[in-house]
Amino acid sequence: INKGNKEGWNSIQVAYNGNYCDNVELLLEDGAKTKTKNSEEHEKYRLLHSAMRHNNREMMNLLLTKSKINMNAKDHQGRTVLHVVASTDSSIKNIELVQSLIHKGAELNLVDNNEDIPVHLACQYGNHKIGQLLLRIRSRDKIEN
């Protein structure tokens, strides 16, 4: 189930790329790994990162609820899913997504390959509401600890 084809794509990547959520769900239930390696690109290909970059809400929800994804796993740029969503936009859905990621264990202070943390990216890309949320949570965590 996790073995790749000639192009290096395994079953879950093929189902994901076809946007076949039902098949992705079945594969996850059968133990498919969400961290894959594409032999052409020679880089880590993380499904949740990709779903966020492509704003595929249905796939994001499926991966967040049905898989055992490490919220702090990094892609080839050293970015976690929180980095990715912080660099997109401050829509209400993305603010809710940030809250969900943090609730599921996403860490606020992990750095990417450029040594940016998610709040840096939110500020860099003008995502003020996400930046404010991340700063508020960081402040709360400092007070609690």
Q: What angle do CA 13, 19, 25 make, to 5 degrees?
A: 70
Q: Which domain holds residue 55?
A: 1-69
Structural domains of the chain, count: 2
Whole-angstrom CA distances from 58 to 12, 25, 54, 110, 125 are 15, 11, 11, 26, 24
Q: Mean pLDDT over residues 78-102, rounded? A: 90
DSSP β-bridge partners for residue 38 = 43
Kindly state whether residues 65 and 78 are assigned to the same domain: no
Residue 139 has pLDDT above 60, yes or no: yes
Kindly state whether residues 65 and 76 are assigned to the same domain: no
Kindly state whether residues 54 and 103 are assigned to the same domain: no
Instruction: State residue 36's pLDDT score.
Output: 66
Residue 83 has pLDDT above 60, yes or no: yes
Q: Mean pLDDT over residues 87-113, rounded? A: 90
Instruction: State residue 61's pLDDT score.
Output: 87
Residue 94 has pLDDT above 80, yes or no: yes
**pTM of this prediction exceeds 0.75:** yes
Kindly state whether residues 32 and 82 are assigned to the same domain: no
